[in-house]
Structure 1
């Protein structure tokens, strides 16, 4: 998936760089607020793709003494920064520019230039969007698109997909605003389009921030993975019960798994060790994304006592 993610980001980066230059040139030539907002939008998107690539590079670093579980979560941090930039810079500047145009409307010169630029930009954006959609569709499997976004652990693909979707919608809004201003002669349509583009960007940023926040604070592995591992462990004759299983994604392809197991009391310490090693090897073989497996041997009775103790402590802290 890492290769596919980079392909999506590089495609979007190349497209947005060219589009941003073209839009700014058209905005300078015609004086259109909507076109200026679109130029800012593309510039922000270009910077965002750069940040995602930077985040991928940083997250690929090997674990060390300061970060024993690696740097995978750093990708989630930079994806969250991207969402904040879309909101603060993209949406903020677009809305500000639109309000300025509403307060002091002025005519747009040579609207044909804007229409040509918007048309070309839409083609480029659509090409990048198709690449992102194909990659996302391949990764989502049989899940619905909404479920795939909610369960996705790789923010790079759905971030680019959301950005490109917002970009195409913004282009349509800019086109509609300029066309309305040209047909009716009402100059504030251009400013209204700029405000609408800012609202679209703000909504996109909020959605991305919500999804990446969940990844940043830690999300469990897919339910299918958890269920399969539970069946694998339960089928081992040396295990009499699973007390608890906890998982967390430290990166798109880096899962931490902790198991508390109740072993057969007739087993020797050496047999428990062998079983633990065999289970760890089987889990990692079935799911390579599970990089670390920690298995704790604990009786069900003692595990329940520990859970009750933790529950009492939480209740006491809550009352305090």
Structure 2
């Protein structure tokens, strides 16, 4: 298992452990207090647990070896499961929370024992913060100093992107639910609780749409991250066998990477020596970037402008 996969798995287990405990406590508190915002948060945490299981399934399937019908392996299956997670977050987490809030707006009811709800939400904030801290720790290992939003847009690790998005949405949702319950307790107006549930749902749907947008790009087919693409081009151009890189195509394939190079080679004394030169360049690329599983190299001449 690669270091990137290990980091993603750690982040997923952080989130699964935190969300499992949070979901149980939230459901108990929702039944005890009758809080709509608390119930919305409980459903959200349950959906998050399912999401993490989906991601673990995706990482496991991605390790299956290539076969006759999948000659490039199963690496990209993680994108499918990441999309499933985004849809689940949108419909089960977000849409349910909005519907629950609307129901409580139409039929408002008091919250019994709001201190219990506040205590559970406060503990949940701490647990979710622990999960987010674990995810951010793994992100910093691979982000190369990028700001979080830039990493979010450029990363090709769909599973880590999903965990980070979920954790941020969960922590923000908990804070919204805490404020909604607190305002309901202080004012005695149960509409605050209903509005809190709707706000949590809208937040989850916004995050789900952002995740879906990024995962869609991965499914469609994205190049390697910009800094890796630039580094590969610079590396090839610095090789003594290569005179000029004419075209470079990279394609992210899950954790693996495909590279296709069209380059003007320096003159060689024979075809065999040209083949040897190309092989040296390919081997050097794969040694420098072990994730490059396929490397296709085409020698060519520079076309003159007409």
Q: What range describes the TM-score normalised by the shorter chain of this pair?
A: over 0.9
SS of 1:107 mapped into structure 2: coil
Unaligned runs of 5+ in 1: 306-320
Aligned to 1:269: 271
Residue in structure 2 matching 1:79, options 78, 82, 87 = 82
**Relative to 1, partners in 2 of residues 1:238 and 1:138: Cα closer, same or farther, differing over 3 Å?**
closer
Q: Distance in 2 between matches of 1:4 and 1:238?
A: 37
> Deviation of residue 238 (structure 1)?
3.9
Aligned to 1:15: 18
Q: Distance in 1 between matches of 2:202 and 2:70?
A: 39
Once the two structures are superposed, residues 23-43 of structure 1 have per-residue CA deviations (whole angstroms, 9 ceiling, x without a partner) of: 111111111110100000000
Aligned to 2:192: 189
**Relative to 1, partners in 2 of residues 1:35 and 1:139: Cα closer, same or farther, differing over 3 Å?**
same
For the 8 Å contact 1:258–1:294, the answer to whether it is kept is: yes
The root-mean-square deviation of aligned C-alpha atoms, in Å, is 1.7
1:105 aligns to 2:136 (yes or no)? no
Which structure 2 residues correspond to residues 55-94 of structure 1 after superposition, within 5 A?
A: 55-94=58-97
**Relative to 1, partners in 2 of residues 1:173 and 1:295: Cα closer, same or farther, differing over 3 Å?**
same
SS of 1:300 mapped into structure 2: coil
Aligned to 2:37: 34
Aligned to 1:249: 252
> Deviation of residue 285 (structure 1)?
0.8
For the 8 Å contact 2:268–2:274, the answer to whether it is kept is: no
Q: TM-score, normalised by structure 2?
A: 0.94
For the 8 Å contact 1:238–1:267, the answer to whether it is kept is: no
Which structure 2 residues correspond to residues 109-120 of structure 1 after superposition, within 5 A?
A: 109-120=112-123
> Deviation of residue 174 (structure 1)?
1.0
Q: Distance in 1 between matches of 2:165 and 2:225?
A: 22
Aligned to 1:206: 209
> Deviation of residue 274 (structure 1)?
0.5
Aligned to 1:313: none
Q: TM-score, normalised by structure 1?
A: 0.90
